[in-house]
Structures are given as structure tokens and as C-alpha cells.
A and B are shown apart, each in its own frame.
Chain A
Amino acid sequence: MLTLDKIKAQISSRQVLIKSPTYNPYRTNLQSQFRSDLYPIPLNYFHELNPFTTIDLDTIEHLNYCHIITLRDGAISFSDFLLNNINRIQQLETHFLIRPELAPLIPEQFKSKFSSWRISQAKRIRPEEADNIFLFVLVGEDLISNIHNLKNQFLNLKDKIKSKNLILFQSQRKSPFENEWKDSTLFHELLDMIKTIFHDNKINYVKIKDVMATNSWHKIYCIDLFENHLLHSDNYLNHFIAARGGTIERFLINNQDDIIFRLQLSLYHEMTIHPLPNIKTHFPEILFYKKKFPKSDLLWDKAFHHLIKKYCP
């Protein structure tokens, strides 16, 4: 069960895995691939509630050093972690914070060991009030689920941002859970879509180094189009931009219910901890899959990914 004492103990301990002397984000090929394929999304950022991704975990026993861990995983690596460590998780004192979208994966008997976390911004601007609009997208067959959803999103945005400058970072990538590139026309389709819909806007194409070198994001409204809860649930770039004054579309407004605790992450955004959403668990289904295919490496199993996608859309 999550208590305020536990939260305060974690904060005052400052035992944060990414600052551990033995932490190595490039220890395995998977970690390197993860960081390269999804750069800059998995980059590390700091707060005392221990933001971490399970693919970086050397041994689960390391979690014993932490009262609380804030997981940034997508559904694939998170379910793989659960299924491979279910007995050991039971023995840990550690409390896990996960994104609410991953709640359907939690076994019923473990729900007391999990809470959810969100990010919000108290001061936000509307797209109409921005000087510039920043679009961030990683494009690939396994990265973008539905290009038609994006089209609708753009059409909704179009009238709000007439004559505004569009700053576009678009990069072709592959899923880190694929070894080979797949040929895809998505990159060009998306680019054509953006140019067509936003034909009245000046589009400035930027490289990631330009984005990371920008120190002020005030009056910039940022739309992170990488909405892929399977691969990763917490984009570093959103934190980077928010900490420099940008408004992040997907961050919530600051008036939520059920807040157990708030942690200020920058002058402009905060993390809030909530109870786990009260929804049906699908852990038995994924456990059944694991038992049916015991030799399957779930991180690379496309059928397993499809199964997970059903429960964490």
C-alpha cells in the first residue's frame, strides 16, 4: 500500500537507480537499440521518485534499495517484466508507480503494490495563443498505429493555428523490438499530409540537435505525436520542453481528483500520484500466453505485442 511515509522516505533517501554507480544504460544490446531507435524519448531525467525503465534493470534485487520506483515502460517491456518476475515482485517492499494505461496488466493480487502517475502543467497556453507550434513524431510501421487518427488531430488543429509557424521534427525509426528495418511509405505519407493540411503555415524542419539546443520554449505549444504506449510511456523530450516553459499538449491541466501526492519537476510541470484506476485486469490472459509459449521471448514476439495492444490501446 502506498503511504505518505513511504513517499517521503523515498524522497529523503534519494536512492535513485539512474544515479547508482553501477547503472549502465548501454550494458546490453537491447538497451543500446532501445536508446538508438527511440532517441531522445528514453533519455533519463531526474526526480527523487526514481524514474526508470525495466529494460535497464540488472537484477530485480536492486529494487530493494528503493521504496518507490516510477516506471516509464511501455506495455511490452512492462508485461515482460511482470511475467518474468511475478514471484519476486511479491517479495519486494518497493512500491511501483505506472502510467494509468498499463493498469489492465496488473494482477489482481498485486494491485496494492501499484499506483499510477501523471504529469500536469498549471500554466498552459492554448494553440491560438502560441507563437510557434512544435510537432514531434517518430515514424515507422510499428511506431504509428493509425495515420487516420493523426489526420483528424491535424484537422482539429488547423483552424486554431492559422498563420502560426510550425516547427516539425519528423524522423523515420523502427521499433526497438524489431531487428530489421521495414520499408515504409509512412514517412512521406505523413509529411505530405502535414504539408497539405497546413499549407497556410510556414513549416520549419528541425533536427533533434536543434531541438535539444533550444533553451527557451516559452509561448510554444508542443504536440507529441509519438503516442505508442506499447514501446514507451514517458517521452523525455516532453519534460525537457516543459522545463523550459513550453506547453505540452498531452500533459494534463492541474485540477485532477484523487491526488495522493504532488512532486514539482520543474517551474512549469509536476508529477501527481493517483490510485491505480479501478479496471478489469487482463493479467490472466497474458499469463496464459506465457504458459502456452514458454520458450517465446515476449519482447520480440509479435503475437504477444498484438495481444497486449488489445488491453492497452
Chain B
Amino acid sequence: MLKIACVFSNKPSSWISCQKIVFNLHKAYQLLGNKFELIHFNFSDDTINKNELESLANEIFKQQPDIITFLDHRPHPQQLFDFLMPLYNNQEKPKIIFHIFGDFSLHFTNWYELEKNLLKFPVEFVVASDRQKILIDKMLNSSTSIICPFPVETNEFYFDENLRRQQRLSWNIKEQDKVYIYTGRLTRQKRTKTLIESFAEVFHENNDAHLFLYGDPDHIGDPFVGVHEIEGEYFRYLYRYFDNLPEKLKSRIHFMGGVPNKELLSVYCGADYLVIPSVHNDEDFGMSIAEAQFTGLPAILSDWGGLASFHHENLGEATRFIPVKIGTSSKLLAKNSLKKHLKDSFNEPLKQSRERLAHLAIAKFGIEYCSRIIMDTLIAEKNNFKGFSALLKQISFEESTRRGLPLFVSKKGKLRKIYKEIYSAYTR
């Protein structure tokens, strides 16, 4: 029996999608069966002082796990390894698995600092999508990462005709109306304003189209490209535009705020299209899109990062993509393409049943499928970590020497070559 130390925080992440991801990843491990013994270790933002880190490292070591797997995105494991590594000095080392989240690029220096301890361990980096693999592999010296999507539970998201009816009643929507939904934070990097503008421009005369936005605004801005916002700023930017629209159009754009994840099942069932034009730097996957596809909901997505994973070869029409390119100062989303997709999707709805899309999504992101990938990763031959690449080292060096200047933006506000080197992985 293989003993696996599952390291994650008992305290839920402040990011709602990450709460779900960690929970579902742990469930995927629990599906592995009797050949594996799982032991959970709480590693949270509260475990940051020397004594607590040392105590945690000792607890893990005492259990002599064959594998230590990090399921969470924070805190960064670098400090923990400072205490863990010496314990394994002359001992056989367990395999280390890191499930990588989208915030990898917020911690280049931590990963670089971790290298010296990791070199002595067999390590696997597990990423959630093809494009995240391209990005992460650029950071690794001759190793390559393994793709395992963040899993979705089939009994949590599925299509139900009754739920659809009830949801549309609660929205006060006629059956022939088309409902477009957006789920996620209302934020600059997810191009929420572009979505509202595009909807307004395409459907200004069409009283049968509605846009429901589920999520609360934030003020994260786009710090990688030098855009910093303060509380309330993005909301006002968004709302100012919305408030100036004609009343008839405003009445078809609905700000629903944040709702608990379990309420989204009805929302997805009631909707006709999910639209996420995100160009967020952290877009490694797209948990909400996976969940929506489990209900058979077709989508209009930016062709950026992990969102590209939601294409299905056997049902290409279920996902329409908006081209993205990296411009001189920011990421550029092809707004005309978004508008065309909105128009076409209204006039040419998906012909295949929702069940067909749901089956394809389950096969690709279901918890059972992910559990099998995890099993293969656990039992695969050990590969000793060969270090991080020169690119990661360069980024880490620049991070520490730019003294408060944005890492990826020049003084003239142009995106630096290093940004394009990293994030070209997220474009086609």
C-alpha cells in the first residue's frame, strides 16, 4: 500500500474556485482505492512561523509517506521544504507532486528559492490544461509536466429540464428568449465591460436576448501590465457605462451578484450560453466552464490559457472561441469576433442535445477520469527533479532587482519581451 501525504489548507481559500478545486482534487485522491493510504496535513497561511513549520515537517516525516502531494495553491511550499529537506538527508526520498494553479506566476522567486531543496527529490508538476503545460514546461529544466484537469463531480452538475424551467421562471424569461450568462468576478482581466458593451451593441434592438452576470466586482486591475485599481474603481468603470445605456437595454442586463456555487446548477440549466471573454493571467483552467459544460451549456470563450481546453473535437460548435493576441501594452481580445459569436449563437443555436456535450465534458474533466490520471502519476517511475529553467531564474532575478517597478512593463508602459516569452504559451 502506498502512503500519500495530502498537504492542503483546512482554511478555505479566499478564491471560491480554488476552494472547489482543492476539495475535488482531494476527492479524486480518495477515489484511488485501497492500494493507497491518504493522510491529510493542514498547511495553511496560519502555519508560517518557524516552530509551526518545523512541527509540520516533522509530522509529515514521521509518517514516512511514499508520496507527498500538494493540493493547494497557498501557502507556497518553499518555507516548508526548508524544514523537510534536512529530515530526508540520508533517507530515501518520497515523490513530490505539486498541483499547479494559475497563480504560479505570482511566486517565481519562491519557486526559484525552492529549487535547491527540490533537486534531491523526485518531483512531478501537475498542470490543469494543455496551455498551462506549455507555460510550466518553459520553467522546467528538461522535465515536463503532467496534465490533469481540475475535476468536477458528476452528481453536482448535470442538465435537468425542471431546473431549467424553474430558473427561467425566476428570471421572468420567455422560453424563446436567449439567456447569456457570465460567471466569475467582474474584473478588468476578465473583460467584463467588453462583454457588456458587445452584448449592448449586438442586441440593442433585440428584446429577446438577456445577459445575466453572476459575480461580484473586484479591484485587482492588471498589475502585470501596470494597471492598478483601488476599491470601487472597476465597479464604477463598469457601472458608468451600463447606467448610460437606454432603459430598454438596461432591463435586459442583470447584475446578480455573487451566489453560492451550488446555486449555479440551476443557473447553468436555465441559460442558453456561457460567455467568458477572460484574458486573466491566472487563467490556467476555468472551473466554472467545466461545471457549466457538465450541464451541457455551450460556451463563447476567449482563446486564452486554459479556456482553450474546453474545445471538444466531436462537437466543435459547442465552444466558440474569441481570438486573443498579446499587443504592445496589453492582451487584445477580438471584440468583433465576440460580437459575431453573440449574433451567430442567437441565430444558430446548438443543434446537438445538451446531454451530448455533458457526456463529452464528463469524459474529459470528470472526477473518475482525473483520478485515473492521478493514479498513473503516483505509480509512474520516479524522475529526479532537474531544476528550473534559465527563464525562471531570469524572471526571479528581475523580480528582486526591479525595485518596485512592474516586472512585465517598461517605463513607457509597453509589455516587455519577458512577458511575451511566458504568456505566448496562453495564445494560439
- Taking beta carbons and an 8 Å cutoff, which residues of A are in contact with B? 11, 18, 43-48, 213-216, 218, 236, 239-240, 243-245, 264-268
Contacts and interface: CB of A to CB of B under 8 A. Distances in A.
Contact of B231 (A243, A245, A267): A243
Interface of B: 14-16, 216-219, 229-233, 235-236, 239-240, 243, 255, 257-258, 260
A46 B216 contact: no
Contact of A43 (B231, B236, B255, B260): B231
A-B pairs with lowest CB-CB distance, top 7: A45-B231, A46-B233, A46-B232, A213-B14, A45-B232, A215-B14, A267-B257
Given A213-B14, A215-B15, A266-B217, A245 B258 contact: yes
Contact of B232 (A11, A47, A214, A216): A47
Given A215-B216, A244-B216, A18 B258 contact: no
Nearest to A12: B240
B282 to A, nearest CB: 14
B232 A243 contact: yes
Given A46-B232, A267-B216, 5 more contacts: A46-B236, A214-B14, A218-B260, A245-B216, A267-B255
A141 to B, nearest CB: 30
Contacts of B258: 216, 218, 244-245
A10 to B, nearest CB: 13
A266 B16 contact: no
Contacts of A43: 231
Contacts of B16: 215-216
Contacts, number: 62
Contacts of B243: 264
A165 to B, nearest CB: 15
B257 A44 contact: no
Contact of B230 (A11, A44, A244): A44
Nearest to A43: B231
A245 B257 contact: yes
Nearest to B218: A215
Contact of A240 (B229, B231, B257): B231
Given A48-B236, A215-B16, A18 B230 contact: yes
B14 A47 contact: no
Nearest to A265: B232
A47 B236 contact: yes
Given A47-B232, A215-B14, A267-B257, A243 B239 contact: no
B300 to A, nearest CB: 23
A220 to B, nearest CB: 12
A120 to B, nearest CB: 16
Nearest to A44: B230
B232 A266 contact: yes
A239 B216 CA distance: 13
Contacts of B239: 264
B184 to A, nearest CB: 12
Contacts of B232: 45-47, 239, 243, 265-266
A292 B163 CA distance: 74
A244 B240 CA distance: 19
